[in-house]
Structure formats: C-alpha cells, structure tokens
Structure 1
C-alpha cells in the first residue's frame, strides 16, 4: 500500500509530462545545432566577422524550423480536441476523440472522453426524469379534460337537446346551433385528451396507436398519409413504445405546421433486431436548426439509446428516421 502511494506521489501529471516532452525536444534540437556548429568547418571569430553572419543565420533558421516541426507534430492532436469541443452536443452522442497517438496527451483525451460519457449519462437521466414528469402531467390534464370538462359538456349537450324538443319554432334553430357548437367543443376536448394521453397505445398496442394517429392527423390536416406498419413487431418496452409514438406525433405535427406538404409516408418496420420509424413528407424541407420540437425528439431518443436522424434538403421534403434497438433497456 505504501509502495502504491509512493508511486502515485512520484507519478508525473499530464502537464509535467508535456513539459518534459517539450523540454527534451528543444534540448535535442539545440544540442544538435551546437554539435553541427562545433564540428563543421564553419567557425565563429571574436569579434564577429561579417562573413560569418550568414552561417549563423542559416544555422539559427534550421534550428527554429526543426523545433517548429517537432512541436507542431507533438501538439497537433490538441487541434482535434479543440474542434471536438466546439461541435460537441450532448443530444448527439458518440462523438469522441481517438485516444491513440501522442502518449503524453492520451491521459488528457481519455479524461475528456470520460467527461463526455458522464455528462451524457447525467443528461439522459435528467431528461428521463423531466419527460416522466411531463407524461404524468399530461395524463392528469387528459383525465381532467375527459372526466370533468367532457362530462360537463355532455350534460350541457343533453340539456340543450331537451330544450330543443320543448322550444317553440322560432328558438329551435338557435338552440340547435348552440347544440352543434357544444358538440364540436366536446369533440375537440376529446381529441386534445387523446393527444395528451394515448389511451389507445396502452389499451390496443403500438400498431393500433400508429394507425389511429395517422387517421387523426389526416382528418385534421387534410394531408394524405401512406401508412406501413409491420404486423409483427418485436416486443418493446413501454418506454420504447411511448418514444416511438411521441416522435411520430411530433413529426406529424411539424409537417402540419411547417412543411406545406401534400403527402406523408409513415412506416414502422423491423429488421435485424432493430425497429425503424420513418416519416417522410413531400414538403419544402430546408430544416437547418433544431427547434424545441426536434430537440425534444432527440431527448426522447436518448432515453432508449436510439439513433435519430433528420434529413431535410431545401425543396426535397423532410425525412425523420428513428432506429431503436429491440431491447434498448437490456
């Protein structure tokens, strides 16, 4: 134990290792330059002769050039590290710097990669907690809409029906219009409740939920949806099914709001142990930045270790692809 403690105490830190590497490189360069000047036919007089100035200038230039080349090759991996630090995004996982090459910088690269691993894990855990709370709040609001507001509107609708039956002819048309308004409001409340809490997903499964989602979207937006859902999908956990449903829901919402599309293709297929959700429209495309909706989709994908890609060339429509492992929580 004391030996290990002593070795840890005498071990060089990464900064010390880099210092000694540069010190040795510089020492070797200047030693080589000194030997060349000492052993070559060129000599330096005292006082300095003008004819010896070019010799000294050339020697100094060679020493500086050799030193610059050695330092550049030694510190070049730091440029890659700086580039990665500028582009790193915790919602786009797996971007790491290779740890091979310069042995003095390997510890630095390993520490940086470990930091990214830790930050991504913490981000995933915090996102899971936030999304779980969000789903719980959605379910609570959906229940209140269905049980309280929905029932209240139903009572009003029944009362209007009785009033229409007993009302004189000059008031019956106005009461009938009010009845239709309340009925439309009740339908809207039920649709909002279904979007907030996909009961069909819990009751009938993912296949039926995707079919209902496509049908509701087509009716509400007037955009034709071509749907392809494999009849036999591998068993997925509840979290994975909810992620698939929510990302499909958000993608269709974005199509209705921004795409100016006339047709949407939705497919949910299984191949080689993976489930792939693909939603493609024929709209204007050109999505350049991740808005709140897309960042929310990326956060959901992280929960089940899925890969989310969005391809949106200008004028070429947008394709959202989610590839999710068969057993993401294993």
Structure 2
C-alpha cells in the first residue's frame, strides 16, 4: 500500500501537470463525447460517459476546475435533448441542465469524499504501522535492560560523566579523582548490593543499591541507579539517577527504562529524586508521580501514587 506521503507527492505533481496534459486531456474527452452526441443525435445516449471527466477532475484537479467540468458536462449532456431545445421550451432546458448538474455534482462530491476517506485510511494505517514499530522498538529496548555486572562500572561512570555535562547529574562528578572513586564504589555496590548515601533528612546511612543497564548492540545505551530510602532494608526504592548515551537520545531508551522501573517494582513504594522541570521529572509525572518533599540540595523527591 502506498504511503500518504507518496500519494501526496504524486497528487502535487499531477496538480502541477494539469495545464500540460490532465486538463487538456479532459477537455478533449468532453469534446469527443459532445461530438458523438451531436453526430448520433437522439439515437444514442452518451450522458453516462460524462461521469468520467467529472470524476477524474474531482480526483486530480482543484475544486474550481471540478465545478467547471460539472457545469460543462451538464451543458453537453443537455444536447441529447436538442429536439426539445429547438422547440423553445426554456423550462425543460433549465430543468434538464439543473438535474444534470445535480447528477454530476453528486458524482464529484462522492469521488472527493471517497478520495478523502482513502487518504485518511492511509494516514491511519501509517499511524498504526508507526505505533507497531514503536511498540516493537520499546519491547526491544525493555529486553535490553538487565542488572549491571561489575565489569559495567567503568561504562556507568563514563555515562554518568556525560550526564553531568548535559545537566542530568551533578557537575561534581566531572572531577577525575571522583570518577575513579565512583568506579570503585559502583563496582562494590553492584557486588554487595549496598552503598552509603545521603538520606533526605540529612546524614548518611548504608542502604540497598541497584544498578540497571540497557545494552544495545553490545554497547551501554543507558543506565539507572536505585537506592533504598534508609538503612531499614525496606522494599522502598528511589530512582536516584538515569542517563542515556548521546547516540541513543531521542529513541525512547529513557522512556523504556522509566517504564521498566515502574513495572518491575510495581508492588513497591517508589520515589525519584529529580531536578525541577527535568526530563525525568516530566516522564515520571506522566506516570503518576507527584511531589513528596524537597532535599537540602534542592532536589525534588516525587512519589508514585497508584
């Protein structure tokens, strides 16, 4: 099936060519039908064939030219009853022209409606195909998400540094010494499942930590990090950081990781630490999160409400 873009391009080309061959061709067809009517007289009936120039003009030409062919075909069709016209019955002539215009006008409207409906169906089909492609892509992205391994720590730090440059994470991480420290801490957190963090009320506690990564074509496309909210080892989880690699931005990786976070932990109490008006905050707000509190470093803590 041709896409709407191809059909629109073809239609535009035809409109540009209408003065070259479409319009002259239809005028020639009208002239041939008229001559046949005149030549055969009342012994043959060519009125149905005037439908073709009207229908073609309605499908390919402008509304103004379609009206022109409706009128032209109506006048030409009236020649079938030339004997009546010669009798000078103006009323019958007017009636025949009016009913001819009604007939051909209805044909033109029908063709335009069918053409419009067909284009709408094509656009809808294209929309469905795009949605199907997007769903398949999202399934692929969700399938790419797994728990991080110790060997992933260096790539996680690399993405975290890039996220700091893009404003997604704190700029403090740009320090080279801190990066080496983070790589060790991340690797240890991946292995042990515990890390030390600043809690919302102030101070530090040792809490559960989880690292999740998205691996596409053997490359890390993104990661997100989850913290426990305190040292009570509860089931609550806070989405503390999420970063997508530059080459994978805009493809839906972040949305896939956000959906994974919400669905994989759907039976838990979930939080997220976000910067005000950040992309992550907007994505989570659309998924039922709202503000819970603010931290001492001006991060907004949002909570999911089922």
> Which category of TM-score, normalised to the shorter sequence, fits these structures?
0.3 to 0.5
- TM-score normalised to the size of structure 1? 0.32
More strand by share: 2
More helix by share: 1
